[in-house]
Amino acid sequence: MSRFPHLLVALIAVVMCAGQLQAQTGTVSGRITDDATLAALTDVEVTVAGRTVASDVDGRFVLTNVPAGVYRLLATRLGYRDVEETITVLPNETTTIEIVMVPAPIGLEEIVAIGYGQEQKRDLTGVVDEVPREAFNTGRITTAEELIQAKVAGVQVTEDNGGEPGGGISIRIRGATSVTSSNEPLYVIDGVPLQIGGGLSSGRNPLNFLNPDDIESFTVLKDASATAIYGSQGANGVVIITTRSGSGTAAGGPQVTYRGNFSGSNVTGRPDIMNATQFRQTVDEQAPELLAILGAEDTNWRKEVEQSAFGQEHSLAVAGATEKMNYRLSLGYFNQQGVVRASKNERLSLSLGYNQLLFDDRLRLQANILGARNEDQFTPGGVLGNASNFAPTQPIEDPDSPYGGFFEWEDPLAANNPVGELNLVYDRGTTYRSIGNATGEYFFGFLDGLSATARLGYVVTNSERRTFAPSIAKFQAETGRNGTISRSNPTEFNWLFDGYATYAQNWERHALDVTGGYAYQQWRTESPSFFAQQLSSDLLGPNGIPAAQLERTFLNVDESRLASWFARANYTYKDRYLITGTIRADGSSKFGADNQWATFPSVAVAWRLSQEGFMESADWLSDLKLRLSYGSNGNQAFASYQQYKDYVFGDPLTQAQFGTEFVSTIRPSAVDPNIKWEETSSWNFGLDYGFWDNRLAGS
């Protein structure tokens, strides 16, 4: 008998066994929620049988083709305690599990950004507070700063633009420090410092280009010891913003996430203003001779200028990773109307983060790019005041009115029709902005702990603000302007280079971390603009420039440079005694010739009492650390060229008369050849504590 049939039977048996073995797989799925709020938790990493997947926006996860067997399921997320469960995977079946995660106390081993490096939270000697993504404020967030409002002690986040959408927000870290310069902190986004206050924008808030959903964390440097590494820019504190990248993404195919919300806003409390009946009664009692000029209408002017505001926000992100690479690409759209008509903020944003490891993980490459288009629509000034003061007995429109068909009082001291202003005045701003950097960090093999970092970054802004008020607007006629139009197109280009080396090493009783390097940054802003009034025609509106009796053009160019040397050393002995020294030397083009360079030192010491032998019996005490620091910072947030004399050409209204001839003037500006930075020095004393495994912790 031939051997072939036996071989065929054996082959068929092997194939059948292989098919049966291949079929011995199942599926693991589930949903993850917060123990306290029962809300779904996204970005939770779930690991089963060596495979990892992240939960989606609904807290759900699915792992397919898991070999049958008994496994340990591990769920981890920053800010929550790890969850471990034993599960059994059956062939061709789905194992479903509900996971509830408990928020974890702040860990002392967390790594926080401190400027040109990172440090463990437990080893900080300066005053540094980090707000991670999971601790952000939730709800309708219109600007990035609102994410940390009321989250950081000593940091005030306040609106300064009447609550308009995308309105300006001021941050004060431990109060104001400057009398004549800006009190806004320095913002550093992915290692790129912006101009003090956030830089250029034609909108209400220069940080509106940031999509809050793209932000990973805020780190606030408060005291002079922590901010001295930023020298002449750090007097008002430093806010370090880190955006999301693909870091933490589980290896595998692209993960797509979407987050969206819709919102509505209404005015719930209005000032107590008389209605038409009450107004007529008051006039009848107080000034009956004026009854004849009252109208027969019943107009609620506040309601006429207000609206039910609609808002929407959408974010779509794609993230992926391999063993040596990860990325995240996101697209965001935001549109928020204001409760006062003609106020709106719209943003279209793009974010890209990329990380790559090369050369046996010795070289780390990182790139971040943020871009946005912001459009702001502004409510004309005085609308709310006029709405509160205009007589409720008068109509909104008057077909015989020369003021665009809107009723107006002829008395120049009377309030103007607020609805007329809303319909006739045009005021809009558009800002295109991009910020990005490319960073390379190389770890040398010949000396363990030695690395070098180089960063190249940029900020590009192109903006436009257009305003138009026709001659038929009442306030134009009564002020003699008879129609105005203006347009400004400021642009900025900033770039920087950072190069520094870091050596970090731990020995049996000692730990040393030293950083030193060089930084160079250059800012250039060009601001062309024009202004015209007493227009010959209103027909072109904001889209053209008719002939006008008064026309002015301007061009302001501002350029400055900052070159810096900096160094910082952190030393720890027996994990009990800590000392940090920082020094930065800044050479700024804004300083006078005799003050071209400025030096900003700081020193801080700390004593961790919880590690001392006499505290061994206090097992309820997790951490107890005393801190003392001193530092010097600067503030150079003032205009450039103050050390040079400037000559200003007069306009046609400031000519000098010689007989019958009028001559334009050229006058010198004030000058201060000794101008220098504004210096702030401060002492800081602190106590950090943690009890019961840091369930209760603070400073």
Encode 278-317 in three state secondary structure: HHHHHHHHHCHHHHHHCCCCCCCHHHHHECCEEEEEEEEE
Which of residues 485 and 16 earns the better pLDDT score?
485
Output the pLDDT for position 21: 43
Closest of 643, 203, 116 to residue 429, by C-alpha: 203
Beta-carbon contacts of 578 under 8 Å, excluding residues fewer than 6 positions away, are: 123, 125, 570, 571, 572, 605, 606, 607, 608
Confidence band of 255 (pLDDT split at 50, 70, 90): confident
Confidence band of 109 (pLDDT split at 50, 70, 90): low
What proportion of the chain, given as a percentage, has pLDDT over 90? Answer: 41
The CA distance from 276 to 282, in Å, is: 10
- The CA-based angle 647-652-655, given to 5 degrees, is 65
The mean pLDDT value for 39-67 works out to 86
Of the spans 161-165, 424-428, 479-483, 617-621, which averages the highest pLDDT?
A: 424-428
Q: Is 165 exposed, middle or buried, given 0-12, 13-18 or 19+ CB atoms closer than 10 A?
A: buried
Confidence band of 305 (pLDDT split at 50, 70, 90): very high
Which of residues 109 and 616 earns the better pLDDT score?
616
Output the pLDDT for position 642: 84
Q: Tens digits of per-residue pLDDT, 651-681?
A: 777 788 888 888 888 888 888 888 888 888 8
What proportion of the chain, given as a percentage, has pLDDT over 70? Answer: 94
The mean pLDDT value for 227-252 works out to 84
Output the pLDDT for position 524: 94
Confidence band of 140 (pLDDT split at 50, 70, 90): confident
Asked if pLDDT for residue 335 goes beyond 90, the answer is yes
Beta-carbon contacts of 106 under 8 Å, excluding residues fewer than 6 positions away, are: 121, 694, 697
Query: What 8-state DSSP symbol labels residue 650?
Result: -
Output the pLDDT for position 27: 92
Residues facing residue 118 across a β-bridge: 113
Asked if pLDDT for residue 184 goes beyond 90, the answer is no
Whole-prediction pTM = 0.79
Query: Poorest-confidence range of 140-149, 316-325, 387-396, 690-699?
Result: 690-699
Cα 8 vs. chain centroid, distance in angstroms? 70
Return the H-helix or E-strand segment holding 20: helix 4-22
Which of residues 117 and 433 earns the better pLDDT score?
433
Q: Is 75 exposed, middle or buried, given 0-12, 13-18 or 19+ CB atoms closer than 10 A?
A: buried
End-to-end CA distance of the chain: 89
Output the pLDDT for position 162: 63
Asked if pLDDT for residue 12 goes beyond 50, the answer is no
Strand intervals (E) in 204-251: 215-221, 238-243
Which of residues 629 and 692 earns the better pLDDT score?
629
- HEC string of 364-377 equals EEEEEEEEEEEEEE
Specify whether the CB–CB gap between 411 and 446 falls below 8 A: no
Cα torsion through 604, 608, 609, 611, rounded to 10: -160
Q: Is 78 exposed, middle or buried, given 0-12, 13-18 or 19+ CB atoms closer than 10 A?
A: middle
Confidence band of 14 (pLDDT split at 50, 70, 90): very low
Closest of 411, 407, 410, 111 to residue 247, by C-alpha: 111
In Å, what is the CA distance from 194 to each residue of 236, 521, 635, 691?
14, 10, 14, 39
Cβ count within 10 A of residue 481: 16
Q: Tens digits of per-residue pLDDT, 598-633?
A: 999 999 999 988 878 787 778 788 888 999 999 988
Q: Tell me the HSE value of 324 on the side-chain side, using a 13 A CA sphere.
A: 10
Output the pLDDT for position 104: 64
Output the pLDDT for position 129: 87
As a whole number, the mean pLDDT across the chain is: 87
Which of residues 52 and 442 earns the better pLDDT score?
442
Output the pLDDT for position 159: 76
Output the pLDDT for position 250: 67
Single-letter amino acid code for the residue at 640: S
Query: Poorest-confidence range of 2-11, 21-30, 635-644?
Result: 2-11
Query: Poorest-confidence range of 313-322, 337-346, 413-422, 635-644?
Result: 635-644
The mean pLDDT value for 183-198 works out to 88
Query: What 8-state DSSP symbol labels residue 338?
Result: -
The first and second tokens of residue 105, run together, are 């106390």
The mean pLDDT value for 385-392 works out to 91
Query: What 8-state DSSP symbol labels residue 12?
Result: H
The CA distance from 614 to 623, in Å, is: 14
Output the pLDDT for position 480: 86
The CA distance from 596 to 506, in Å, is: 39
* 203: helix, strand or coil: coil
Output the pLDDT for position 472: 93
Strand 186-189 vs strand 238-243: parallel, antiparallel, or unpaired?
Answer: parallel
The CA distance from 199 to 528, in Å, is: 17
Output the pLDDT for position 350: 96
Which of residues 106 and 115 earns the better pLDDT score?
115
The CA distance from 215 to 131, in Å, is: 11
Output the pLDDT for position 353: 94
Which of residues 366 and 138 earns the better pLDDT score?
366
Single-letter amino acid code for the residue at 646: D
The first and second tokens of residue 470, run together, are 């026709």
The first and second tokens of residue 138, run together, are 């939730």
Closest of 238, 244, 249 to residue 216, by C-alpha: 244
Q: Tell me the HSE value of 227 on the side-chain side, using a 13 A CA sphere.
A: 34
Which of residues 120 and 565 earns the better pLDDT score?
565
Q: Exposure pattern of 556-589 as b/e (b: 16+ CB <10 Å)? A: eeeebebbbbbbbebebeeeeebebbbbbbbebb
Output the pLDDT for position 23: 52
Phi, psi of 71 (to 5 degrees): -135, 165
The mean pLDDT value for 425-448 works out to 93
Confidence band of 20 (pLDDT split at 50, 70, 90): very low
Q: Is the dihedral of CA 590, 593, 595, 597 positive or negative?
A: positive
Q: Exposure pattern of 28-64 as b/e (b: 16+ CB <10 Å)? A: bebbbbbeeeeebbbbbbbbbbebbbbbbeebebebe
The mean pLDDT value for 515-531 works out to 95
Q: Is the dihedral of CA 222, 223, 225, 230 positive or negative?
A: positive
Q: Is the dihedral of CA 113, 119, 122, 126 positive or negative?
A: negative
Asked if pLDDT for residue 15 goes beyond 50, the answer is no
Closest of 369, 355, 375, 366 to residue 189, by C-alpha: 369
